[in-house]
Amino acid sequence: MSKTIVVTGASAGFGAATARRFAADGWRVVATARRRERLEALAEELGGPDRVHILGIDMRDRAAVTEALGSLPAPFDEPDVLVNNAGLGRGMEPAWESDLDDWEAMVDTNVKGLLYATRAVLPGMVARDRGHIVDLGSTAGRWPYPGGNVYGASKAFVAQFSRNLRADLLGTRVRVTNLEPGLCETEFSVHRFRGDAERAAELYQGKDPIVPEDVAEIIHWVVHLPPHVNINAMEIMPVTQAWGALPVTPLGGGHITIMIEYSVIHSFIV
């Protein structure tokens, strides 16, 4: 029997790659995104409306998400997997210079949108006693870095919420996994750098970053493990990425911080 996967933020990046990966195995897909025309193209590519149910919704819209995911039409109405992928990073300024609108956009999507989708889909999974929620966290939720302020905090929320969900779900067969990718080549950085595609491209240049298909493959793997196995969390980096030393600077030293590697900060005293 064909299974159903719900993927939020399916118009690009991890979301689109995940939709493709599962559709290739015969899964039905429920795809959400703000950019409806992109979803239409994806649905067309993956077999049309019988195979892909598209929802042109903004994850920040509680009523729209609750309504759309809480009353899916047959045969999409018993999702086996929810991939909470929709999310964004906006800006990398220090906290005191950040734009509150950016902070709110990240909290509203990465935290609240994820909650709306989870709350809409979870009761059915519990009632059916099967299902899998795969959350897209980030290395930024585990490892702090300058300019990561609210983005990282929103992903730390995802990590702890995922663990707490499993605590609530103990006694059911519903699984929860938090995936925490590091440097990945998606539209993520273009948005974070406010449309500066050149700056985003430079970031990935020569780094051999993770690509969306890698993450889709990992999601496919965690979902297809035997049903008694729950991967709680998984941190994923390209082999070109690792942790940096902790910087130390004298107070008032007027240090400048230069990001020369993604999430690896080098501080220089001037």
Just list the catalytic residues: 151
d(CA 28, CA 10): 13
Radius of gyration of the chain (CA): 19
Query: Which CA distances in Å does 247 have to 150, 224, 255, 259?
Result: 20, 41, 11, 12
d(CA 14, CA 228): 26
Judged by the rule CB under 6 A, the positions of this chain that interact with ligand 8X3 are: 89, 138-140, 148, 182-183, 262-263
Beta bridge partners of 54: 31
Cα end-to-end distance, the chain, whole Å: 65
Tokens coding 194:
């406010």
Do the beta carbons of residue 3 and residue 80 sit within 8 Å?
yes
Strands (E), 52-143: 52-55, 81-84, 131-136
d(CA 268, CA 206): 24
| Distance in Å, CB of 34 to ligand 8X3, minimum | 19
Coil, helix or strand at residue 256 = strand
Residue type, 96: W
Query: Angle at which helices 13-23 and 36-45 pack, to 10 degrees?
Result: 20
d(CA 99, CA 81): 35
Longest dimension (CA), the chain: 65
Is the Cβ of residue 140 or residue 216 nearer to ligand 8X3 in the bound state? 140
